[in-house]
Structure 1
């Protein structure tokens, strides 16, 4: 009898011809669920899936490691993996919906699992849970129930206190489907209506609410400091330093011993300057430039030598590691390092000698790097420029250090051109800013756009980050690179790109999906074409959503958005902990040190990525709060807008000020509207009226809710 030929599996996405990490995880798990007893390595998996290119085969290796860490696979021996015993359940992350039910997202199944409110078993937003899957019904969502809470995302919540005679509740801020019961003796002096932080102590099985205690009273609702501290607490971010950390920082001296300078490359006589925002106090980076005798240019990128002052295992180090990043809210910076360091000792202030870790490049007129040097330096900044001052020199050709500024601008533009030719994507988003009074009240809104002076700094920071990553990561064939911290950016999700392309066709646009390079170059053309048009923000927002999120990892897969094979973060150690890790590793390896433990640094990378996400969410929440506060004085006014989001609970509309609000679906009372997810639209069942992403509409400011950071609009045509 003829032997049955084994069916070859090809999972490669026909439409885009490429894999990203998420798609690869799904494909690998699908294969292994078919043959759960099989032990595999990355070469077998690559063959089964039909992967031949070395870049994606490398990605398979990374994905197998991550599936092991996420407990989907067991590592049987070095490089060999086996599926963990499969049951009728999967594990995943809870995503609560405004209506009370939830979805659980799991790499073990190809779509989210719907969990009704009664089957959540007290699971909360972000929790890692085990879910029992129900039998699949045709044309229905995948459904199940939570059987175990594997890991709580958070047990500490911020909210508003509501007191009665013998007890109180904390009503949490954000997407939380419960209030926390607080016994009177655990109120810590919190009064009715105040903002506070509470910790859940227990949640009995049949209790509607968890039991907790107040940890900290933040202040009165509506007070700007209390509200900003509440936003930080909502995302589990600190709002002050412990006393012992501040005291330790105060002991660090500004004076630099002469013997320390003797051990470094002394660059105090080379023209050096900083370019930063007008309100900045923490100057991470400075640039120097001088012409060499051979006619080439020596460009120095000088970065504050934070790790000279912050030593391993010190209390300042532990605090910086936990925070992992500075947080930038609308009206304040919550620094990673105490002010004594961030704005004083480490800040590259003008007319002061400072210690740096520098990347110095010899460049020709084409902005090609001919030679490079990395090491410890001493510098003296001659001038502190704001972006506006540097921009004026670039535009007029006049001003302090004009020759140096103009030369760096010329080189930066050449670096930028080369980067885009290689496939780098140009996401130049406009930032929304507020003019606020001394009490934190927003008086007006304005926009901040990146100009040549911003791009000058950006290009040299990118160059330093790229060259540092290459110095450690790029090794001879068959030689293993030493463990390092990379800034990685995965390829976009192919399905999201197809969906995005379908949507932009209605505006007469399109992108090429054949290869990753075709995607990036056609995306750049698209972003350039939509500039200044009504659909610009919607198209840019959806393009960003189709992209993966950049993160930190010891496993380098390159940076898709920048089109760099090697990239790291070296240039901002005052405000990012990964940069401190990079400084320490670079110093160690330049001195010939051995490779460090990969798993330890991978764990620190994951923590840093998580904290970066929390900081970004807090920043967005503070902007949203100020937008709603600003619009309180505009209730009843009518504005033109563009539909920026469609959901089954309402239409999101963005005004010309970039302020976004929602028209609740229940206020669309002229028909019964159905959510068409594929076409980003709401369609009337009877009259077939359609509201689609990108449509122009006119809205009236209806109501504001500061507590929920919520802005509600009414469509003017419906009101009439």
Structure 2
């Protein structure tokens, strides 16, 4: 007993000495040995010193930093930010103030999970390029429910999360299993996680089913991204009360275009038609192009339950086997859908264009149309291509094609950057299993409608600017679709990459879209064109929604917004409301309120778009992996899509399935990575493989649960038209 009392008296004294010494040395980190020597700790007291130091670490007064060194916690700077985990078990926190990335090792995550808002204490000393720190507090959970597979033992269960970035399994007490069976996909709610020494505790709140049951795989994707599979009852009821009431009063305040030749061109399987087009030749030789968009804002008032739900969702999400709509079906597929031979309320952007595609006049008004026809893209293309077609609107379709070519050529001359975007679709059996992967056709009719929508989106944005100038204002609060030019670092990397390949290209610091396009055109015919295009794409920033108009670099547009898809995109719906509101003078107080509200809408919409893209991509990946699992041992041709220290990624065509050729499976030589040229080279043979090279592979292994595909490299392949690359660009 006497020993314990003496120890209790000694520890606080040693602890105070440690803290005082570290504070006096301004937070400089010391090893345990250095500390004990500096404090003159005798050999017989070393165990007491060590225990006191450990107690200080547990209490948070002293921090253990890299290299097993210690520093006083008060000397460390604290920052806030959101944790972004990697698949390897460590993460990064982006400082809210400086946007600097802080490295967080697996041992310093505390009880934080991916996307949590956290508090981080920075270490005094860091190794590597990034600052390092330790998460000391979780300020807000970024996610409270997770999808995974339930595993049951005799007295308890646990859920293994689907998301590899969620690095801990969830402990499920028997009473909180909710009747789940071993092996089922479930949704687990995080209930408690107080110590990183223990696993988080959860409760199963929803059972999705066994993985091989129809639709469970895609439902799991939806749930893991927080995508709602149904609408709240109150929202459905509000939608059901909406009516299309075409009264004389309503017609009188709209442009009545019901006698115009207006029609829609959409995908074959489309359920909602939110844009229609018209084209007439004017007496002065100019074109009158009409883009008529469903007037969704007429049925979804600001602040309504429908509006709040649409804001939360942000966008419709197109998964492989279903659409998760932004608005209930009664609104999207009935009242607002521009069905043929039915009157519908629209918002029309009617543009007068010269034969050279220059905009000389426009009208933007609420309108009413009566669509004369519903085409799909394939049908319209067939009519355009067939000179003997007897379709009554064939001449208009061909005129539309001709005008779209003019607009596209004009856009390219301005410096718009064009990237191919191959995509795939699936033919599923009755159980939802993929039986065929089909490349999506990219027809000229797709480009035609795209050009018309781009023109309308530009015109609407210019209209807002003109209104502001007429009222002697710099601008109105508005939602712009912006695309920042590449960062200096990315441009420098691109320049170095081209130099490593032997190309001398002048890349200006203040690069313009036309400059960037000229570089790609200059290298178009080179043997490295595919590779260069892929790396060029990687230098691009992501397009987002913003109140600050910085233009759209990729499209080379000074003014751009999203106006043409209010059924499926919330920013478009808000743009419609703003167009209506700005027709009349707006009070300064209202403008201030709008500015604040639009900031929130831009941030939310950009976030929801990123989530939708990720969810759509993952649903495609699931079906691709399911398909390739039936082809293990078979050979395919593809392109090298990534080169890393642990292997090369190959994307097979035309299925666009990416798999990994692991370094350990390259047994013919010892390969060395050159990061600058995205190349691996055999040390003995000199054989090299580079990003963009066509190769032959054999499917070696497929892990359905992890969605991983392993290939064996058979050698280089001849480049052919059938070998395409997968590139992505956000409009």
TM-score by length of 2: 0.81
**Structure 1's 250 and 523: CA in aligned 2 closer, same or farther, altered over 3 A?**
same
Partner of 1:96: 85
Contact 2:427/2:436 (8 A) holds in 1? yes
Q: C-alpha displacement at 1:364, in angstroms?
A: 2.7
**Structure 1's 298 and 488: CA in aligned 2 closer, same or farther, altered over 3 A?**
same
Other structure's SS at 2:111 match: coil
Partner of 2:563: 570
- Residue by residue, what CA displacement relative to the aligned partner does 1:358-407 show, whole Å, maximum 9, x if unpaired? 11112232222222111110100001111112212332343331221122
Tell which deviates more after alignment, 680-689 or 477-486.
680-689
Unaligned runs of 5+ in 1: 1-85
In 2, Cα distance between equivalents of 1:88 and 1:325: 39
Counting only pairs closer than 5 Å after superposition, residues 570-649 of structure 1 correspond to structure 2 as 570-594=563-587, 595=591, 596-649=593-646
Q: C-alpha displacement at 1:272, in angstroms?
A: 0.3
In 1, Cα distance between equivalents of 2:674 and 2:338: 54
Q: What number of residue pairs does the alignment pair up?
A: 633
Q: Does 1:546 align with 2:513?
A: no
Partner of 1:134: 123
Please, what is the CA RMSD of the aligned residues?
A: 2.9
Match of 1:376 among 353, 366, 372: 366
In 1, Cα distance between equivalents of 2:299 and 2:284: 37
In 2, Cα distance between equivalents of 1:141 and 1:586: 45
Counting only pairs closer than 5 Å after superposition, residues 84-483 of structure 1 correspond to structure 2 as 88-106=77-95, 112-136=101-125, 142-174=131-163, 175-397=165-387, 398=389, 399-474=391-466, 475-476=468-469, 479-483=473-477
In 2, Cα distance between equivalents of 1:138 and 1:333: 46
**Structure 1's 516 and 329: CA in aligned 2 closer, same or farther, altered over 3 A?**
farther
**Structure 1's 572 and 489: CA in aligned 2 closer, same or farther, altered over 3 A?**
same
Which structure is larger by alpha-carbon Rg, 1 or 2? 2
Tell which deviates more after alignment, 258-267 or 303-312.
258-267
In 1, Cα distance between equivalents of 2:413 and 2:661: 42
Q: C-alpha displacement at 1:241, in angstroms?
A: 1.8
Q: C-alpha displacement at 1:434, in angstroms?
A: 1.8
Contact 2:186/2:204 (8 A) holds in 1? yes
Contact 1:512/1:518 (8 A) holds in 2? no
**Structure 1's 623 and 139: CA in aligned 2 closer, same or farther, altered over 3 A?**
closer
**Structure 1's 355 and 559: CA in aligned 2 closer, same or farther, altered over 3 A?**
same
**Structure 1's 527 and 443: CA in aligned 2 closer, same or farther, altered over 3 A?**
farther
Tell which deviates more after alignment, 465-474 or 92-101.
92-101
**Structure 1's 92 and 523: CA in aligned 2 closer, same or farther, altered over 3 A?**
farther
Partner of 1:715: 713
In 1, Cα distance between equivalents of 2:526 and 2:393: 34
Partner of 1:514: 508
- Residue by residue, what CA displacement relative to the aligned partner does 1:532-580 show, whole Å, maximum 9, x if unpaired? 98963x5444322211111111121111111111111111000000011
In 2, Cα distance between equivalents of 1:370 and 1:507: 46
Contact 1:702/1:713 (8 A) holds in 2? yes
Other structure's SS at 2:182 match: coil
TM-score by length of 1: 0.82
Q: C-alpha displacement at 1:687, in angstroms?
A: 7.7
Q: Does 1:487 align with 2:484?
A: no
Contact 2:638/2:651 (8 A) holds in 1? yes
Contact 1:202/1:212 (8 A) holds in 2? yes
Q: C-alpha displacement at 1:234, in angstroms?
A: 1.4
Match of 1:499 among 489, 493, 496: 493
- Residue by residue, what CA displacement relative to the aligned partner does 1:516-541 show, whole Å, maximum 9, x if unpaired? 555544436637965998963x5444
